[in-house]
Structures are given as structure tokens and as C-alpha cells.
Amino acid sequence: MLKMVVTPSAGLLEKVDPVARFDNKLKKLISEMSEMLDATVDPVGVGLAAPQVGVAKRIFLAKPQEGGKTHVFINPVLEGSSEEKEVPKLKNLPKVEAKKPKKSRGKLLEGCLSVPNIWGNVSRKKTIKLSWQDIEGKKHARTFIGFAAIIIQHELDHLEGILFTKHVLEQKEQLYRSYKNAEGEDEFEEIEV
């Protein structure tokens, strides 16, 4: 059974190796990662990278729509991106439509299952082009926009040993700690850095 690796684990800060063998062991790992991602509910998980479950391989899953399909990316390579950066305008990641991020609400707070209860604003590329392999080893390439592009960039960072908090600090944005209030609702307080 897989367990979530959380900070301050050094394994989250290491660049990982490509997948070389597309076998039953890989299929089992991806199945277990998918189950783990589906089981995350507070907050709802929208992505999970292999280093987050203690596996130093270039694999991640993305699930941009709650209740939607989980996509598997093996040996992903960022082939290009738009110069325009986007800070989406929603607080609740899983509610964002992958193709049309809404811009009328407050800023999105990006979080991570491996950095519990910590959130921050991260400026990400609006459009990215990615190549990757699927579970059978077949190669694919596609352009992603909006929320799907944000998830992919976050998960690609995990494969390079980078946590979103590094971007928040480099971009001179604010970090927040979340907690539940008396009504069980999420509240956010600024973290002094």
C-alpha cells in the first residue's frame, strides 16, 4: 500500500529518473496511485507524482475535473509554453473547468498533497506543449491550456524536485496556512516568512 510522502522528506527535493520498463509492476504502481488520488477528499486531489508516494520515477497523474478521467503521464517532457503567465482566479482547484478558467473571482491558492495545509499564489504558464508516454510506452504529444496546464506544471515540478512553495517565495507572493473554523469551513491565515 502506498503512503503519501510529506515535507520535510528529502525525497521530494530530488530530481527523479525516467521509466525504462513498461511492465506489470508499472501498471500496479499506476493503479495504486490512481486509487490514492481518488481517495483524497479534503482537499480533493487533482494531481499526484510518483515522488509523492516514494517512487523516484518520472510519472504523474492528473485529474483536472472532479469525477473526471485520470490521465497518466510517463516520462513527460515540456516541449514549449506560452510566454504569457496566468494566475487563475479561483480558490477551489477541483471546481475549475480545464478549458475555461474563470477570471472573475479571487486568486487561486495552489496547494499540494505533500505540503499539507499550506497554500500560495503561483504564476504559471497559460499554455504548454507536452510529450509523454502512456502505460504501454506509446508516445503522445498535446497542448494543454488553463487548469490542466497548471496541474501539469505543478506535477512536472515534482519530477524535478521542486515544490510549489519555492515558486511562491521566488515570485514574492504570500503563503497561507489553512485550518477548519468552528463550522468546519476552510480559513486561511498569512504565514510570516
DSSP secondary structure letters along 52-112? GGT--BSEEEE--STTSPPEEEEEEEEEEE-S-EE--S-S-GGGS-SS----SSSPP-EEE
18, three cell numbers: 525516467
Query: Of 66, 155, 187, 189, which residue is the catalytic one?
Result: 155
Residue closest to 87 by CA, chosen among 32, 161, 167, 4: 167
Active site residue 192: no
Active site residues: 155
